[in-house]
């Protein structure tokens, strides 16, 4: 893994929480584009925020590639175990981690390990998201 990639489960929680708060900043701007953006929609922003947080140049092609991979994974997972992705924090975390995978920054084992931790520590993620730095 490259420099700056979270190493511990608590570092992953902190980064995902920071990324979620970054995505939340878009909610008020929905009214300017006549889009109703809510927390339920934030998972769509995970690929772009992952690129931003990793300092990866955001080209149209790269964003489309990562977004397509993430949304494909999301839809496949939602079809098989969708209820877990009804939680806005979990759906964002899933897509954020899937972005790392799509960018070859982490392997499938790491994604599964972090997601399992997040699913069993939802309160920890929610608390990290709600804290204001």
For 103-133, give the secondary structure using H, E and C: CCCCCHHHHHHHHHHHHHCHHHHHHHHHCCC
Enter the pTM of the model. 0.88
Whether the Cβ atoms of residue 44 and residue 66 lie closer than 8 Å to each other: no
Q: Distance between CA atoms of 104 and 5, rounded to whole angstroms?
A: 12
Q: Distance between CA atoms of 131 and 12, rounded to whole angstroms?
A: 15
What tens-digit pLDDT sequence spans the chain (133 residues)? 335 899 999 999 999 999 999 999 877 665 555 566 777 888 889 999 999 999 999 999 999 999 999 998 988 888 777 688 889 999 999 999 999 999 999 999 999 999 999 999 999 999 999 986 5
Kindly list the domain boundaries of the chain, sorted by start residue.
Answer: 9-130
């Amino acid at each position: 893994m490259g420099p700056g990639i979270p190493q511990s489960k608590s570092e992953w929680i902190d980064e995902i929480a920071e990324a979620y708060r970054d995505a939340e900043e878009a909610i008020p701007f929905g009214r300017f584009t006549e889009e109703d953006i809510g927390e339920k929609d934030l998972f769509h922003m995970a690929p772009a925020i992952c690129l931003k947080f990793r300092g990866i140049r955001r080209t149209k092609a790269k964003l489309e590639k990562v977004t397509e991979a993430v949304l494909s994974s999301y839809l496949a997972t939602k079809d098989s175990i969708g209820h877990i992705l009804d939680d806005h924090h979990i759906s964002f975390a899933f897509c954020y981690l899937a972005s790392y995978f799509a960018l070859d920054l982490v392997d499938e084992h790491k994604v599964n390990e972090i997601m399992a931790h997040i699913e069993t520590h939802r309160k920890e993620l929610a608390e990290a998201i709600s804290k204001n730095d």
